[in-house]
């Protein structure tokens, strides 16, 4: 201990700041790992909070439809309007519906939907659980004999996992309608012809992997948001910090998972 104190006097202060940051990061990573293990353990134990799960599906899914729909329509419209002049230069304007459909279904739709969920759903869960932690509602549930982890955390994470693929399908559909609108702004393409060309280039390998990775998007967003809210600090500052970190880390994990999913899909498709 004395040698450590002598060394601390000799070394610059920034070295110990980095050391403290590394310790904090590793301890937080360990706590998150234990939190995740506890989630999977509680998931498969009875009783299951079905009413709370359905309530969270309604709040996380149905309440997000207006925002998801608006974003999807604008996304399809803008992507079509910006892509059309480039394809027209090469005489490939007829490929526009197929290009838009593949782009949206494979990558843009799932990622944009997950980022919206990380912002809206993630911040909401983080702030809600942090408020419950600050006001000691979680402690009151433990005293009353209720399992707060199963009632609060498991239901919200499962709801995020279940609703995100459905929201992605809804977003893709509205985006295609937006693309159809964009095509007909400066042209005249029938509804049947547009969607026939759009779905002609889609295959099972385009749709299935994109929906599978949304499950992991939902899992990551739910776990990160619940962890930050469940372990929030005291006071209103802790509530704001939990909501902020939930959005930032949730959005970051969306890109990390998406990168891993693309690499894994490429490996299997190239075999």
3-state SS record for 102-127? HHHHHHHHHHHHHHHHHHHHHHHHHH
Per-residue pLDDT, 8:
53
Residue 25: phi and psi, rounded to 5, are -65, -45
Q: Give the count of beta carbons closer than 10 Å to the beta carbon of residue 179.
A: 30
Residue 92 lies inside a defined structural domain of this protein? yes
DSSP character at residue 185: T
Residue 19 lies inside a defined structural domain of this protein? no
Angle, vertex CA 192, rays to CA 187 and CA 194, nearest 5? 45
* Mean pLDDT, the chain, integer: 85
Residue 135 lies inside a defined structural domain of this protein? yes
Tens digits of residue pLDDT in 20-62: 767 777 888 888 999 999 999 988 888 788 898 999 999 998 9
Residue 25 lies inside a defined structural domain of this protein? no
Residue 42 lies inside a defined structural domain of this protein? no
Domain that holds residue 192: 49-269
Q: How many domains does the chain have?
A: 1
Tens digits of residue pLDDT in 160-214: 999 999 999 999 999 999 999 988 887 778 888 888 888 888 888 888 888 999 9
List strand residue ranges (DSSP E) for 22-65, in order.
none
Residue 169 lies inside a defined structural domain of this protein? yes
Residue 260 lies inside a defined structural domain of this protein? yes
DSSP string covering 188-239 = ---HHHHHHHHHHT--HHHHHHHHHHHHHHHHHHHHHHHHHHHT--SSHHHH
Residue 65 lies inside a defined structural domain of this protein? yes
Q: Give the count of beta carbons closer than 10 Å to the beta carbon of residue 255.
A: 12
């Amino acid at each position: 201990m004395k040698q450590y104190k002598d060394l601390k006097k000799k070394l610059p202060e920034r070295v110990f700041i980095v050391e403290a940051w590394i310790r904090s990061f590793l301890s937080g990573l360990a706590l998150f790992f234990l939190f995740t293990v506890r989630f999977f353990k509680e998931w498969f134990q009875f009783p299951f909070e079905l009413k709370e799960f359905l309530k969270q599906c309604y709040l996380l899914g149905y309440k997000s439809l207006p925002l998801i729909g608006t974003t999807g329509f604008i996304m399809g419209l803008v992507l079509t309007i910006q892509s059309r002049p480039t394809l027209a230069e090469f005489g490939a304007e007829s490929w526009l519906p197929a290009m838009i459909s593949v782009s949206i279904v494979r990558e843009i739709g799932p990622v944009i939907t997950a980022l919206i969920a990380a912002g809206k759903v993630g911040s909401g869960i983080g702030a809600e659980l942090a408020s419950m932690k600050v006001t000691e509602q979680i402690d009151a549930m433990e005293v009353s004999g209720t399992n707060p982890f199963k009632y609060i955390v498991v239901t919200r994470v499962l709801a995020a996992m279940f609703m995100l693929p459905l929201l992605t399908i809804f977003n893709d559909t509205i985006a295609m309608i937006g693309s159809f609108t964009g095509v007909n702004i400066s042209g005249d393409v029938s509804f049947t012809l547009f969607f026939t060309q759009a779905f002609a280039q889609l295959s099972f390998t385009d749709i299935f992997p994109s929906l599978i990775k949304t499950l992991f998007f939902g899992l990551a967003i739910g776990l990160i948001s619940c962890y930050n809210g469940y372990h929030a600090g005291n006071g209103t500052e802790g509530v704001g910090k939990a909501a902020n970190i939930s959005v930032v880390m949730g959005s970051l994990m969306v890109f990390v998972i998406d990168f891993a999913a693309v690499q894994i899909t490429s490996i299997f498709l190239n075999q």
